[in-house]
């Protein structure tokens, strides 16, 4: 497991530290704080991206509300004035980048939906003609839109490890057939609704991943949803199959890291200021395009 910088809230009860999020126990609930950390290729990079956490958190809040007609989520409140008293001294730091959430039992699969053939899906298709065991037609080009979005689950990796794509049958072994079918249907429905809305804003959501948990025997949506960290966002006016696409997510950083010759192992390299500034601007841009608001 790789090391992550210590949280700025050392006086609070940290129960889990992810690549980007710090989670604190409030007793009856959890406080999820989205930091400005950036991970790429499952490694947390040494530089932060200014305001990235605020953008991710607010985009998730926006989408959680949009999807409430499909599935419940874990949010209790995002109003810092309603947080437990222990968090009051940190209200300014927590504002816009945190949410008080219900304690759900996370399910052990990442629910990935692919609407376009790109990334690891494109690599798998080129080598084997399928993605996660799903056979695809011959002759597809990179970034082609798929006839129907694919549900391609993966395992959840610990920090520093890589998620592993699995078949639907393997997902059934992890969570059972009924839950696996429910996760598939919910994921596809959420993706389709989100992708349709984003398209109206000139944005293609090429693929994304969701996480779900169990609360009172019911599957609910947790963690983040349709953010630049969990999704590939492409500008519609620049879309052209047959090549990699420009994007509104952290692909810009990934591309720089690949060109730098980094071996994708901890520790990651320091980023040039230009890459940091451009990435911060990109995150803010996608938020404004989706919501019509500024960070």
Q: Which domain holds residue 30?
A: 14-101
- Does residue 174 share a domain with residue 52? no
User: Which tokens go with 3?
Assistant: 């090391």
User: Do 89 and 205 fall within a single domain?
Assistant: no
| pLDDT category of residue 249 using cuts at 50, 70 and 90 | confident
Round to whole Å and give the CA distance between 160 and 19.
9
CATH code of the domain covering residue 43: 3.30.200.20
Decide: helix, strand or coil at residue 27: coil
89 and 111 assigned to the same domain = no
- Per-residue b/e over 173-194, b at no fewer than 16 CB within 10 Å? eebeeebbebbbebbbebbbbb
Q: Does the CA dihedral 228-41-5-75 come out positive or negative?
A: positive
| 61-73 tens-digit pLDDT | 999 999 999 999 9
| Together in a domain, 113 and 88 | no
The domain that contains 157 carries what CATH number? 3.30.470.20
Q: Are residues 121 and 212 in the same domain?
A: yes
Q: Quick one: pLDDT band at residue 10, thresholds 50, 70, 90?
A: confident
- Give the mean pLDDT of the chain: 92
Dihedral sign, Cα of residue 247, residue 252, residue 257, residue 261: positive
Q: Positive or negative CA dihedral for 193, 194, 200, 205?
A: negative
pLDDT band per the 50, 70, 90 thresholds, residue 1: very low
Tell me the per-residue pLDDT of 81-107, one tens digit each, with 9 for 90 and over. Answer: 999 998 999 999 999 999 999 999 999
- Are 96 and 205 part of one and the same domain? no
165 pLDDT tier (thresholds 50, 70, 90): confident
* pLDDT tens-place string over residues 189-231: 999 999 999 999 999 999 999 999 999 999 999 999 999 889 9
Q: How many Å apart are CA 113 and CA 179, to the nearest integer?
A: 16
Q: How confident is the model at residue 161 (pLDDT cuts 50, 70, 90)?
A: low
Domain boundary among 101, 117, 137: 101
């Amino acid at each position: 497991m790789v090391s992550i910088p210590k949280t700025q809230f050392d006086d609070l009860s940290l129960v889990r530290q992810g690549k980007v999020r710090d989670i604190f126990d409030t007793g009856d609930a959890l406080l999820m704080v989205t930091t400005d950390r950036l991970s790429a290729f499952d490694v947390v990079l040494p530089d932060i991206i200014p305001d990235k956490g605020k953008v991710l958190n607010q985009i998730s809040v926006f989408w959680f509300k949009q999807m409430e007609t499909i599935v419940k989520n874990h949010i209790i409140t995002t109003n810092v004035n309603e947080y437990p008293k222990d968090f009051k001294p940190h209200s300014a730091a927590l504002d816009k980048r945190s949410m008080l959430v219900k304690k759900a039992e996370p399910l052990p699969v990442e629910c990935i939906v692919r609407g376009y053939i790109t990334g690891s899906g494109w690599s798998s298709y080129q080598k084997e003609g399928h993605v996660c065991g799903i056979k695809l037609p011959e002759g597809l080009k990179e970034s082609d839109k798929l006839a129907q979005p694919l549900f391609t689950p993966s395992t959840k990796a610990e920090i520093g490890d890589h998620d592993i794509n699995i078949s639907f049958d393997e997902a059934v072994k992890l969570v059972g057939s009924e839950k696996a079918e429910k996760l598939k249907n919910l994921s596809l429905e959420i993706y389709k609704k989100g992708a349709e809305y984003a398209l109206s804003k000139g944005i293609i959501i090429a693929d994304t991943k969701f996480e779900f948990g169990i609360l009172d025997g019911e599957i609910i949506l947790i963690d983040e949803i349709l953010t630049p960290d969990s999704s590939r966002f492409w500008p519609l006016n620049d879309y052209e199959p047959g090549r990699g696409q420009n994007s509104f997510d952290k692909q810009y950083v990934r591309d720089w890291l690949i060109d730098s010759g980094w071996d994708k192992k901890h520790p990651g390299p320091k980023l040039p200021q230009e890459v940091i500034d451009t990435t911060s601007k990109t995150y803010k841009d996608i938020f404004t395009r989706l919501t019509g608001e500024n960070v």
